[in-house]
Structure 1
Amino acid sequence: MPPATAGPPQPLSPDEEALVRALGRLILVLPRALDTDMVRQGQLPLTEYSTLMHLSEAPNRLMRMSELATACDLSLSGMTRIVTRLEARGLVERVRCDEDARGLNAVLTDAGLARLEQAWPAHLASVRRHILDHFEGVDLVQLAGVLQRVATTT
């Protein structure tokens, strides 16, 4: 929130306007490009890849469904649909939470981990082509810090 003494908002400079527009376009285009690459190569759609990735990084490869939805920036109902598809293929299981019998955890199966590992090279190649190859000479630590600040203050 701006300080109480701040004046009216200032118009964007041409450079600021260009940045805001480029970021807006990137937010729309990048996930679609990564997803298209993954599907075209016969791999997992990006939402499924992301779900398996988060589970693979969680302790005991297990996450509460609501936490997994938050990690993937999806609604709980959207995450439920994805986990249902993954569960039907034996890549994920749902189990009752020990702490709360009403809640469900998603658990990455061995088959799910193997499928994630199979999809990883295609995802890596896509990420390099669509993102990292364009940042030569850029301070990635500084850029990541700025993007993280924007993401956590929004």
Structure 2
Amino acid sequence: MTTRWLSPDEQRAWRAYIAASLLLEDTIDRQLQQEAGMPHLYYSILANLSETPERRLRMTELAEGLKITRPRLTYAVARLEKDGLVRRESCQWDKRGSVAVLTDEGVAVLERAAPGHVETVRAALFDRLTPEQVGQLEEIFTSVTAGLQGEGGPAEEVPWRRRSSPSCS
């Protein structure tokens, strides 16, 4: 098989994406650590739960929405549970599963953190783009996401379906 090397344009685009994504994640993570005392992943868990009916979601669905492995989610939820921001309950319709529930304290923390987070995202990303570029960004990453999460590819390779060991669920 012949290697399909990146063209100079593709190489520049790839390097620009890597630099921007690393800097953007660092900027968001630092802001949330400084102002809310939590990493971006923890904020994302709270935000996702806040957008669901009754502020609850099955752990496997939450992992899928966050695009992370179930063991990574389990660890993060355990930390949030320790802080009283989330609680876990047994899944009523599947005894093997569990549900993450956003607590009232979690809602309060999220409400305090959201304005600073949104301002950071706006300043770091959207204020630098034209409305046309925002539409292009959405189109590009929607296409990439669809390709990577199994539409036309191996669906079992997505993070939320991976297991770190045979005993994890």
Q: TM-score range by the shorter chain?
A: 0.7 to 0.9
* Structure 1 position 89 matched with structure 2 position 83: yes
* Structure 1 position 125 matched with structure 2 position 119: yes
| Cα offset, 1:43, TM superposition | 4.1
Equivalent-residue separation in structure 2 for 1:16 and 1:31 (angstroms):
22
Matching of residues 94-113 of structure 1 within 5 Å: 94-113=88-107
TM-score computed with the length of structure 2 as normaliser: 0.78
- Flag structure 2 segments of 5+ consecutive residues without an equivalent: 149-169
Match of 1:67 in 2: 61
Match of 2:41 in 1: 47
Percent identity between the aligned chains? 37
The root-mean-square deviation of aligned C-alpha atoms, in Å, is: 1.8
Equivalent-residue separation in structure 1 for 2:131 and 2:56 (angstroms):
38
Q: Deviating runs (4+, > 4 A) in structure 1?
A: 8-11
CA contact (8 A) 2:36 2:109 kept: no
1:74 and 1:36, CA in 2 relative to 1: closer, same or farther beyond 3 A?
same
Residues 73-102 of structure 1 show CA distances to partners (whole Å, capped at 9, x for unaligned) of 222111111111111121111001011112
SS at match of 2:73: helix
Match of 1:114 in 2: 108
CA contact (8 A) 1:66 1:76 kept: yes
- Flag structure 1 segments of 5+ consecutive residues without an equivalent: 1-7
| Cα offset, 1:41, TM superposition | 2.3
Rg comparison, structure with higher value: 1
Equivalent-residue separation in structure 1 for 2:146 and 2:122 (angstroms):
25
Structure 1 window deviating more from structure 2 (22-31 vs 98-107): it is 22-31
